[in-house]
Amino acid sequence: MRILVTGGAGFIGSHLIDRLMAENHEVLCLDNFYTGHKHNILKWLSSPNFDLLRHDITEPIRLEVDQIYHLACPASPIHYQYNPIKTAKISFLGTMNMLGLAKRVKARILLASTSEVYGDPDVHPQAEEYWGNVNPIGIRSCYDEGKRVAETLAFDYHRQNDVQIRVARIFNTYGPRMLENDGRVVSNFVVQALRHQSLTVYGDGSQTRSFCYVSDLVDGLIRLMNGEHTGPINLGNPDEYTILQLAKTVLQMVNPDLTIEFKPLPQDDPRRRRPDITRAQSFLGWQPTVPLQEGLKLTVEDFHARVSREACAPKSSSAASTLGS
């Protein structure tokens, strides 16, 4: 099968490509390298079943494919808030271009949506029937509302043009190849601990998140793409932890002698986040299998190698602020 992965050089996209290549598909990786990195897909560059396309999805493109995994969009607060207008354009124009491509070539398209469509939820845990509590004019709205309109476009293309869509609402995902400076809580806690810095917790640390290891997520995406259910379907780990619990877990694993520094909570930071995965379990036969301790161990090992290389380099940089997202 000929499969296009937008954002394929990114964290989740590159792990997805690893799986698709292992299954002997013909894979096209499309990325503009805003947050993706070539080294994530370096091992596939010489394969006859792999092609790399440097392209911005806000511009149309003509290809012949059977399936489209549409992952392209900056997903961390630091990156999507850096250029919020561009973020909104990626969610709207980029998604419209990919849906137009799917319509023309009759490909099935999976939209990587997000738990951020639920905003700061009044319902807990969050099920797909919940419409969300999103601030439409806040600093996070370029991403939150961008993904909500992306879902709208997907379902309108499905209803009006009979495009085969699949919509995944992805909750917090972590693992090797995360960016060191992306503002996400797992990566920044690990990087701060490895650099012997205090761990930065915003608020009192009582806000909760659920953390899904990347291999579990990729399995869910593939099952959704090849299943019979349109979605939206939540993909995430229902085990819920406070940010403070996560900080203490990372400290115990990396450096128990470090301290925790508390700072004010960022604007519109969700208080609680936990997926209801009943649909995923029922429709896809899917649920996470990698426990947090095991996934963190693999993530720490990956970051340790990168931080060690950085320590040997002539320059140094500090970890980005942890936004708890």
Closest CA to 246 of 187, 194, 290: 187
Active site (annotated) includes residue 34? no
Give the torsion sign (CA, 70, 72, 77, 81): negative
Residue with tokens 């009979």, as numbered in its chain:
162
Give the torsion sign (CA, 195, 196, 200, 205): positive
Exactly one of 69, 118, 143, 202 is catalytic; which is it? 143
Name the token pair of 29: 């990786």
Name the token pair of 267: 């604007």
- Residues 6 or more apart from 108 whose CB is under 8 A from it? 66, 67, 68, 102, 164, 165, 166, 225
First to last CA, the chain: 35
Is there a cis peptide before residue 291, judged by omega within 30 degrees of 0? no
Query: Looking at the annotation, which residues are catalytic?
Result: 143
